[in-house]
Amino acid sequence: MVPNLIGGSFVDSQSSESIDVLNPATQQVVSQVPLTSNEEFKAAVSAAKQAFPAWRNTPVTTRQRIMFKLQELIRRDMDKLAMNITTEQGKTLKDAHGDVFRGLEVVEHACGMATLQMGEFVPNVSSGIDTFSIREPLGVCAGICPFNFPAMIPLWMFPVAVTCGNTFVLKPSEKDPGASIMLAELAMEAGLPDGVLNIVHGTQNIVNAICDDEDIRAVSFVGSNTAGMHIYSRASAKGKRVQSNMGAKNHAIVLPDASIDATLNALVAAGFGAAGQRCMALSTVVFVGDSKSWEDKLLERAKGLKVTSGTEPDADLGPVISKQAKERICKLIQSGVEGGARLVLDGRNIVVPGYEHGNFIGPTIVSGVTADMECYKEEIFGPVLLCMQADSLDEAMKIVNRNKYGNGASIFTSSGVAARKFQTEIEAGQVGINVPIPVPLPFFSFTGSKASFAGDLNFYGKAGVQFYTQIKTVTQQWKGLASGSGVSMAMPTSQKS
């Protein structure tokens, strides 16, 4: 049974209900996740609340040093974390290392919190009066994580939150909670005090409890649109800050002058890597002009990819997370075919020797897709690449901009003029120019937009620090002893002289 972490102790839940964590390549039970009781959840929030006063008053340099130590420990245990991710989530070991590393970069960024959290100062705003602003922590914050990045997403959340001086309650995905537990152990080994980071497991009931709890000030969420909008509206209605990263339909526009080799490699890696289970996966390609020659070459490369258990050394893509996910992906592929699209490559009936019970789908390429098809409107979240065709860059951009999602969009071209037009007119929050997955490093922020994000302040970078802090503005005046000018009824800062 996977334990909860409450007030510095790993404790088994007293709940009688649990969910099996399955290895998606074998269906073997890896562990069991408890459906945490409301009392246990309250205990976690209470532990975070009690730890807050001492933690917020801990010098920022001390908090930074704990992050320095944490990044060292994550590097030390990188292989162990990656193996756990591959076992529970299914992605290849190489990809699992990437999962940890992208999170590690956020920890490294948090090591500079003193500078990131600096306020502003203006002396003598009025005669003898100074004003300054400081960024203070909010209190207890919470994070709700998805299954697709079991290490990276928790590391997007708690390192920034706690280094700002907040305390934290984390709810990992019930499908792969192991990495969160390992990271929490490392955080405590690094010197994070008891109660600063707490972990509770569960499903909807815990999510709703997080949204409703009066002691939780802010909620970070990454996951589907249905859950994300529910959390955003429910938690906002209770006066909480919310940042909610949700679904996506990321497009690439390929112009005829694009570098053939580099573009094909990018499309294959971004479309099928991690079995398509990335919120920045490249799921739709819009070819400007003739698409047939591109599709033929794509087919050739996609066929060469090795689909097997993520633990196999030559694996290119592993299984999808669950049987239900596989069924859903297969249904969406079928709906495209029934709507008149053409299957260039069908990966639905793949059999992987030695892993016959795994949730495998091979690379799938669907051509002749139109904007009214279910497979285009829905996020597929599998190794499926949809191919569309447009006669001009303007027409291609219209297709992309009409889509409700706005996480990412890329263009492949050797024309600076076309690239500049694209970056100016495209309505996605993260733009790639000859880059298929334009996820910014942590000194920028993850800036999905439109239906892919709800909230005002994005994850990590400057926006992340702003999300986990509130501004206090102080106006001060120190008068000399001889000030016999009598009573002034004016606002102190609005004196004319």
Distances (CA, A) of 255 to 27, 398, 427: 43, 15, 18
Asked about 279 being catalytic, the answer comes back as yes
Collapse the DSSP code of 359 into the 3-class scheme (helix H, G, I; strand E, B; otherwise coil) and give the result: coil
Looking at residue 489, its pLDDT comes to 85
Q: What is the pLDDT of residue 484?
A: 61
Report residue 268 as tokens. Answer: 């294959």
Per-residue pLDDT at 197: 99
Two tokens, residue 472: 């206090």
Answering whether pTM is above 0.95, one says yes
Report the C-alpha gap between 424 and 484 in whole angstroms: 60
CA distance 422 to 425: 5
pLDDT of residue 482: 60
Note down pLDDT in tens along the chain; length 497 residues: 999 999 999 999 999 999 999 999 999 999 999 999 999 999 999 999 999 999 999 999 999 999 999 999 999 999 999 999 999 999 999 999 999 999 999 999 999 999 999 999 999 999 999 999 999 999 999 999 999 999 999 999 999 999 999 999 999 999 999 999 999 999 999 999 999 999 999 999 999 999 999 999 999 999 999 999 999 999 999 999 999 999 999 999 999 999 999 999 999 999 999 999 999 999 999 999 999 999 999 999 999 999 999 999 999 999 999 999 999 999 999 999 999 999 999 999 999 999 999 999 999 999 999 999 999 999 999 999 999 999 999 999 999 999 999 999 999 999 999 999 999 999 999 999 999 999 999 999 999 999 999 999 999 999 999 999 999 999 999 987 665 667 888 888 876 65
Catalytic one of 141, 279, 330, 387: 279
The Cα–Cα gap between 493 and 123 comes to: 12
Buried b (16+ CB within 10 A) or exposed e, 144-161: bbbbbbbbbbbbbbbbbb
pLDDT of residue 481: 60
Helix (H, G, I), strand (E, B) or coil at 318: coil
What is residue 435's DSSP assignment?
-
Model pLDDT, residue 483: 59
Supply 41's token pair.
């959840």
Residues sharing a CB contact under 8 Å with residue 220, sequence separation 6 or more, in sequence order: 141, 142, 143, 144, 156, 157, 161, 242, 243, 459, 467
Q: What's the pLDDT at 487?
A: 84
Give the integer Cα–Cα distance in Å for 385 and 344: 10
